[in-house]
Amino acid sequence: MNDLIEFGESRQLMSSLEIAEATGKQHKHVMEAIRKMEPSWEKVRGSRFRLTSRLVEQPNGGTRSVSCYELTKTECLYIASKFKDEARARLVLRWEQLETGQAQPMAVQPKSGAEFLLMCAQQMVEQEKKLNAMQTKQLALENRITNIEQRTTTNLPYTTIVGYANRFGIRCPREKASVLGRFATNLCKKYGFEMGRVEDPRFGMVKTYPDGVLCETFEQYYPSIDFRSRV
């Protein structure tokens, strides 16, 4: 499982699989440590760790593609700074043995054409999953922003009780908003108007009403204010 890869004459990379084997750790724990420490490394160094995959021999025969990282010696020692002393010492000695020729890296399992295509397909699936997750989060954020704008905007045909009150500089505590909301709801039912709903960060889903209905509602409770001039 040992992968020391030569890059040119000076740069060498060691896979996280090799790190796990050298330190006696489970590979999933090594991957967790790398992912946890990567943000700080990226912030200081300006680059992320190299993520790839390798074919790993299975106990019952055959191979399986496993995601892993390939790290330089400096990156390895950075990750090892969180290891226990014994595991860190094993990794340092392993690098020395490989660099001085005292030990030979195990051969990387060669990939057939079909296996290489499978590996590429698996990587593309993982990348697509990450992209879809990011797009889902982005869409949720955009919807949340839209809902907040709808709650506080002053020029939409449908507005919440609080949004309409804000338009006229009226302080509208929750109890008062509930009273106005019930009145506006009854007017919508009376006139056959549909009501909308938006998410309020404080109260959850709240109703929205046509501005005409809100105008009539607020006139009942604030008769001294001219609401019609700004409908």
Tokens coding 195 = 């009501």
Q: What distance separates the 2 farthest-apart alpha carbons in the chain?
A: 93
Banded pLDDT at 147 (limits 50, 70, 90):
low
Does residue 63 sit in helix, strand or coil? strand
In this structure, are 79 and 168 located in the same domain?
Answer: no
Domains contained in the chain, number: 2
Residue position matching structure tokens 């010492």: 89
pLDDT band at 177 (very low <50, low <70, confident <90, very high): very high
Print the domain residue range for 182: 152-230
Same domain, 156 and 106: no
In a domain, residue 224? The reply is yes
Co-location of 66 and 9 in the same domain: yes
List, for residues 186-218, the tens digit of each pLDDT value. 999 998 988 998 887 777 889 999 999 999 999
Looking at the fold, whether 195 and 106 belong to one and the same domain comes out as no
pLDDT in tens, 25-65: 999 999 999 999 999 999 998 889 988 887 777 777 677 78
List pLDDT tens digits, range 8-32.
Answer: 334 578 888 889 988 889 999 999 9
The token duo for 109 is: 């399992």
Residues 17 and 103 reside in one and the same domain: yes
Say what the pLDDT of residue 103 is.
61
Q: Name the domain boundary from 81, 112, 143.
A: 112
Q: Are residues 102 and 159 in the same domain?
A: no
**Mean pLDDT in the chain?**
81
Phi, psi at residue 15, to the nearest 5°? -80, 160
Average pLDDT over residues 112-127: 69
**Residue 28 and residue 97 in one domain:** yes
Q: Do 107 and 8 reside in the same domain of the chain?
A: yes
Tell me, yes or no, whether 120 lies in a domain.
no
Residue 175 domain flag? yes
